[in-house]
Amino acid sequence: MKKILLVIMVFLNLSASGQVQFDDYFIDKTLRFDFMLAGDHETTVAYPMEMKEEPFYGGSLTNLVDPFHYGNLRYEIYDLESGTLIYSRGYGSLFQEWQTTAEAKNIERSFYEVATFPFPKNDISFVLKKYMKDGSLQKVYETIIDPEDYFIRKEPVRKAEYERISGETDHHKAVDLVFVAEGYTAEEMNKFHNDVKRLAGILFEYAPYKDYGDEINIWAVDAVSEESGTDIPGEEIYRKTALNSSFYTFDLARYLTTFDIKSVRDYAAVVPYDNIIVLINSERYGGGGMYNYYSGTTSDHALTPQVFTHEFGHGFAGLADEYYTSDVAYEEFYPFNIEPWEPNITTLVDFESKWKDMIEENTPIPTPPTDEYRDKVGLFEGGGYSAKGIYRPQIDCRMKSNEADSYCRVCTEAIRQIIEFYIK
């Protein structure tokens, strides 16, 4: 715990003294840069699509440069004249997940991507980087953006009703979470708003979210679908919905996502937001989540509370899956000779950067999964889809199983650091 507290103190000091001054470089609205990522299991190529101005910038006005370095992808914004790094964000993507599947060894595919950042006052350089299999961070795309470029679209955001479900804090000093409806018809929007209220209530039962109730704003955006539900291709069920979600992502029956990131972001832009939750109107078990991309879950399964908090752990805080017995589409997702960027798993390549200092002196390393250590932070083998070679912090956690009643201590502190980043 001492290490985590020290990290937070150092982080807060850096936030106060070492960050970029917002008014020197930005206007309080958003520039959105849309692009495609394409390739196969070894190749990544980016192609620009469009740029547009959006009315709300939801983030902190002081914490602009990302200190976490989470995510397999990262975009950086540099002031062109001075070369100063003025904004950055890491994120995960369905594209980089797909690259680890067997299909990626045989065909090429493309995926739509969206990067958002405060609207710059002057010319900037947009740089996209990707963590490679050897752990190196390499540039895959760079372009110069003139904020006065007349190809930056300045049209109104998509027409959609919305409701502020909870929270009254200024969006620059709060975490703004937007729930976007998927598979809800116009007649089902009352159900959607009630579903959002129910899931928000569940979220605030968990530490550390419950410690920040006044600093988390919850929004609901009514993306109206023509039909109710979602696609289930394995059962030849297809529904015409606003966000084009579907089960059987990468041919896994329970993996529920949407590739239509353009529509997700179009609807989210109706309100200020830091993180997106796509709420799918279905009684079926399933969901998905990627860091700073979106989290998705069905609304009405008996295990929706567990799935929602698990997937939101991915989407909001970059937490890894700690399970290792369920079927996945990935092949060698975590190379054993590289330290994962996620804060809650380790290959021991760089365990010093993880939770080593949170382990009590008399706890054995590795730690046996016995009742004696059930509530202890240790080094438990099994995680990241592998029973061997990857370790997790505690015996059980929301990121490992539906049976856990909370996040483990390491995950809880990782989430707390992300919240602090947004509210300062």
Contact criterion met (CB below 8 Å) for 114 and 121? no
* Structural domains in the chain, sorted by start: 16-153 (2.60.40.3250), 162-318 (3.40.390.10)
Contact predicate 388/401, CB 8 Å? no
CA distance 114 to 106: 26
Separation between Cα atoms, residue 275 and residue 161, nearest integer Å: 19
Q: What is the DSSP string of 384-401?
A: TTEEEEEEESSS--TTT-
pLDDT tens-digit series, residues 170-206? 999 999 999 999 999 999 999 999 999 999 999 999 9
Instruction: State residue 18's pLDDT score.
Output: 59
Q: For Cα atoms 267, 271, 275, give the angle at the middle one, nearest 5 degrees.
A: 80
pLDDT at 3 over 60: no
- C-alpha closest to that of 49 among 119, 116, 112: 112
How far apart CA 320 and CA 327 sit, in angstroms, is: 16
Which two structure tokens, joined as six digits, stand for 297? 């879950």
Q: Give the pLDDT confidence score for residue 11 in this predicted structure.
A: 45
The pLDDT, as a whole number, for residue 134 is 86
Report DSSP state, residue 158: P
CA distances to 130, 132, 133, 306, 333 from 338, in Å: 15, 10, 8, 30, 11
Once rounded to an integer, what is the mean pLDDT over residues 22-31?
Answer: 98
Residue type, 265: R
Q: What is the pLDDT of residue 359?
A: 97
Q: Is the pLDDT of residue 85 over 70?
A: yes
- pLDDT of 329: 61
Q: What is the mean pLDDT of residues 225-232?
A: 98
More confident residue, 325 or 357: 357
Q: CA 34, CA 153: separation in Å to the nearest integer?
A: 12
Residue 45 is inside which H or E element, if any?
strand 44-54
Contacts of 189 (CB under 8 A, 6+ apart): 161, 181, 222, 224
Q: What is the pLDDT of residue 125?
A: 98
Residue 65's pLDDT is: 97
Q: Where are the alpha helices (DSSP H) in 93-221?
A: 94-98, 189-203
Q: How confident is the model at residue 17 (pLDDT cuts 50, 70, 90)?
A: very low
Q: Quote the pTM value.
A: 0.94
- The answer on pLDDT for 84 being more than 50 is yes
Residue 331 has a pLDDT of 66
Q: Please, what's the b/e burial string for 230-266 (b: 16 or more CB within 10 A of its CB; e: otherwise)?
A: bbbeeeeeebebbbbbbbbbbebbbbbbbbbbebbbb
Residue 130 pLDDT greater than 60, yes or no: yes
Number of H helices, E strands in the chain: 7, 18
Res. 15 pLDDT band, cuts 50 70 90:
very low
**Whether 97 contacts 250, CB under 8 Å:** yes
Burial (CB count within 10 angstroms: exposed 0-12, middle 13-18, buried 19+), residue 403: exposed
Range from 11-15, 35-39, 379-383 carrying the lowest mean pLDDT: 11-15
Average per-residue pLDDT for the chain: 94
Read off the tokens for 15: 């936030």
For residue 372, how many other CB atoms are within 10 A of its CB? 11
For 247-401, list the strands marked E by DSSP: 257-258, 275-280, 287-290, 294-298, 380-383, 386-392
Q: For 98-122, what is each residue's pLDDT tens digit?
A: 999 999 999 999 999 999 999 999 9
Residues 271-290: tens digit of each pLDDT: 999 999 999 999 999 999 99
Residue that is written with structure tokens 């190379």 in the block: 335
* Radius of gyration for the chain, computed over Cα atoms and rounded to the nearest angstrom: 21
Rounded to an integer, what distance in angstroms lies between the CA atom of residue 408 and that of residue 195? 26
Q: What is the largest CA-CA distance in the chain?
A: 65
pLDDT of 4 above 60: no
**Helix, strand, coil share (%) of the chain residues, nearest 5:** 25, 30, 45
Q: Can the peptide bond before residue 335 be classed as cis, meaning omega within 30 degrees of 0? A: no
Give me 280's structure tokens: 């799918």
Model confidence at 394, pLDDT cuts 50, 70, 90, reads very high
Helix (H) or strand (E) holding 87: strand 85-91
